[in-house]
């Protein structure tokens, strides 16, 4: 699945998700975490994020919770101030 920038403010059929802090990280051990911090796992993930590239990752009391995104999931990536949408398009 491809993660693409979304340049419009509204589009029917989009499943809006909570914002994420970043999509640039691939190693969660480098992060200072608070409960409910959310990320999109970056390329070539390692450690707890291994094999979870492009998943949503949320820090909880019990560790990482992963959400496998579906077509049309969209989130604001806060450190870029850009909205991204998941798409099956290549």
The torsion angles phi and psi of 60, rounded to 5 degrees, stand at: -130, 180
pLDDT, residue 43, reads 95
pLDDT, residue 6, reads 45
pLDDT at 90 over 80: no
Cβ atoms of residues 61 and 2 within 8 Å = no
pLDDT, residue 15, reads 85
% of the chain surpassing 90 pLDDT: 70
Sheet holding 15-16, edge to edge: 2-6, 82-87, 73-77, 15-16
pLDDT at 62 over 80: yes
pLDDT, residue 51, reads 97
pTM attached to this predicted model = 0.83
């Amino acid at each position: 699945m491809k993660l693409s920038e979304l340049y419009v403010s509204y589009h029917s059929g989009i499943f809006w998700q909570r914002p994420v802090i970043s999509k640039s990280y691939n190693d969660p051990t480098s992060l200072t975490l608070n409960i409910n911090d959310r990320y999109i796992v970056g390329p070539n993930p390692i450690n707890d994020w291994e094999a979870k590239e492009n998943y949503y990752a949320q820090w909880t009391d019990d560790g990482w919770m992963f959400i496998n995104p579906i077509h049309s999931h969209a989130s604001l990536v806060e450190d870029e101030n850009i909205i991204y949408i998941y798409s099956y398009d290549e």
